[in-house]
Amino acid sequence: MAASRGKFSNKFGFIAAAAGSAVGLGNIWKFPFEVGKGGGSAFLIVYLLFSFVLCYPILVSEIAIGRRAQKSAALAFKPLGHPNWSIIGILGVFCAVVILSFYNVVSGWVLGYFVEMLLGNFEIGHHFEEYVTDIAEVGGYALAFLIGTAYIVSQGITKGIEKFSKILMPVLIIIILVLTIYALTLDRAMDGVKFYLVPDFSKLNLNVIYRALGQSFFSLSLGLGALMTYGSYLSRKENIVSAGALITIADVGIAFLAGLMIFPFVFSQGIEPEGGAGLIFMTMPGIFQSMGPSLGVIIGALFFLLLAFAALTSTISLMELPVAYMVDKHKIKRKYAVWYSAAVIFLLGIPSMLGNGYSEFFTNFITYVGADKPVNFMDFVTDVASNTLLPFGGLMVSIFSIYVWNRHKLFRELSHGHPKFPRTFLAKYISFSLQYISPPVLGAIFIITILEIFFGVQIF
Ligand code: TRP
């Protein structure tokens, strides 16, 4: 697709690819544990606000910039007449590589749990912490997953994957829906629902706001130009504003549902909601076990298999960034670009792999100034790349699209495929948010969190 600067055959191809990128581990693995760490409903509310008020307009601009420029992220700013801004695109490429390095490790866990479920080993739920220290095993699965991603990206057969995921993603949603209904019938389920949905603003603090913002960007694949690249393959006939709305609603909807499924399970089994990155791995096997041996194996294996597919459509979009950059900019053959990226990503992933109990150094990697506990390598990388740099990328996109490229050109691009756009309510909403909400809110959060969280400067 990208090699020959192809086009999506229609709107649904684009939506499937973009939604495939957005929906992934971020929704089903990361969102629930971030809610758990962030005190439940307080996190949820902030996340919803950020997603719709702040991120949706940025998502629309990212796609518009890409479509206008007809170039992948790092090269998109030049044809629009602002070559200096390419640095933002290059930062995005760097971020994609870093995010993929740990994302791939977690994808390996998912693959491993798929196999354990097939074997009927539901006990693995109690042994997550030991499991992730088996470096040969998790390393092997991570390597297999990365090779799968690299192979697909090298062949440029993402179209086939899109078709595939158009069938598989609805199946995943149906399984989650069925599991949610099952979850709600269990003992103590309502404690989980309360934790998740009944607002408790006493839990609201800077850390929750910071993480909810990062989660919104991460989950929507926003802030590093992934959607710019996809936008560059989109036809001018299509309506970006409505496609963007659909992607946002689908992504947020699936995350919301995953939360509604997991918290009743967590509370019914007496698991700590603050469990962190292991939350779904500790919770789900016990649930499958409670369904009886044969049904449990089927549903359990299917759940982790489909989750692996959801992850795959996301890793493909992440790997496309360094690859498109090397191909477009340095004229490297697509194949070499892919395998070179894969090698770098695998090596960069090793500290994330070791940092879950195997290596003391990477497990207690860094203690932020003023914090009482160290964080592991994966958490540190998440804080830097996804919680800090993605919103920073979003800040730059909003400033660029309103002031540098300018609103009229943005609106003109959005009018292709939607001629009435400038007169709609959404036009006002999008431009208001890009101009008056994103820059001050993202700018303030960026500065305050760097000072407070990383350097321990007390501002409030
Ligand atoms: N959004 C994906 C998820 O939720 C992860 C992802 C894919 C991503 N592409 C991205 C995150 C680009 C940030 C930027 O699992």
* pLDDT at site 315: 95
Measured in Å, residue 391 CA sits from the centre of ligand 1 at 13
Amino acid at the residue 309:
F
- Which pLDDT score is estimated for 169? 81
Which of 29, 34, 99 is the best mutation target for the ligand 1 pocket, counting ligand atoms within 8 Å of the beta carbon and taking the most? 99
Instruction: State the Cα–Cα distance between residues 126 and 116, nearest whole angstrom.
Output: 13
With contact defined as beta carbons under 8 Å apart, do 219 and 255 qualify? yes
pLDDT of the residue at 374: 93
Contacts of 101 (CB under 8 A, 6+ apart): 345, 346, 348, 349, 352, 381
Helices and strands in the chain, H and E counts: 23, 0
Nearest alpha-carbon partner for 33 in 357, 280, 355: 280
Q: What is the pLDDT of residue 370?
A: 79
Helix 334-354 × helix 293-330 angle, to 10°: 130
Cα 22 to middle of ligand 1, angstroms:
5
* Cα maximum dimension of the chain: 62
Buried b (16+ CB within 10 A) or exposed e, 28-50: bbbbbbbbbbbbbbbbbbbbeeb
Summarised one tens digit per residue, pLDDT across range 191-244 is 999 999 998 889 999 999 999 999 999 999 999 999 998 898 888 999 999 999
Ligand 1 pocket test, pick from 318, 386, 392 with the greatest ligand atom count within 8 Å of Cβ, gives 318
Q: Coil, strand or helix: which one is 375?
A: strand
**pLDDT value, residue 459:** 72
386, 162 contact by CB (below 8 A): no
Which amino acid is present at 202? S
Q: Would you say 333 and 42 are in contact if contact means Cβ atoms under 8 Å apart?
A: no
Please tell me the predicted confidence (pLDDT) of residue 1: 42
**CA atoms within 13 Å, Cβ hemisphere of 240:** 33
Nearest CA to ligand 1 atom 4: 26
| pLDDT, position 96 | 97
Which residue type sits at 225? G
How close is the Cα of 161 to the center of ligand 1, in Å? 17
Looking at this protein, which amino acid is placed at residue 221?
A: S
Specify which residues 425 forms β-bridges with: none
Average pLDDT of the chain is 93
Here the tokens at position 458 are 């007390």
Torsion, Cα of 400, 383, 455, 90 (10° steps): -40
- What residues does ligand 1 touch, defined as CB less than 6 Å away? 21-22, 24-27, 99, 218-219, 221, 224, 226, 314, 317-318, 390
Question: How many angstroms does the Cα of residue 226 sit away from the middle of ligand 1?
Answer: 8
**All domains of the chain, ordered by start, with CATH?**
2-351 (1.10.4160.10)
Query: What gap in Å lies between CA 109 and CA 353, rounded to an integer?
Result: 10
In sequence order, the β-bridge partners of residue 366 are 375
pTM: 0.95
CA angle 150, 332, 229 (to 5 degrees): 65
pLDDT of residue 159: 65
Q: Long-range pairs for 269-277 at CB < 8 Å and ≥24 separation?
A: 270/188, 272/36, 273/35, 273/36, 273/37, 273/40, 273/195, 274/36, 274/37, 275/33, 275/36, 276/33, 276/36, 276/37, 277/29, 277/33, 277/106, 277/356, 277/378, 277/379
- Distance from residue 123's CA to the centre of ligand 1 (Å): 30
Between the CA of residue 366 and those of 10, 215, 386, 387, 457, what are the distances in Å? 47, 21, 17, 16, 17
- Residues in the chain predicted with pLDDT less than 70, given as ranges, are 1-7, 9-10, 157-161, 460
* Residues near 129 by beta carbon (within 8 Å), at least 6 away in sequence: 278, 356, 357
Q: Which atom of ligand 1 is nearest to the CA of 226?
A: 12
pLDDT at 3: 39
Short-list 378, 95, 308, 79, CA closest to 218 = 95
Centroid of ligand 1 to alpha carbon of 218 (angstroms): 5
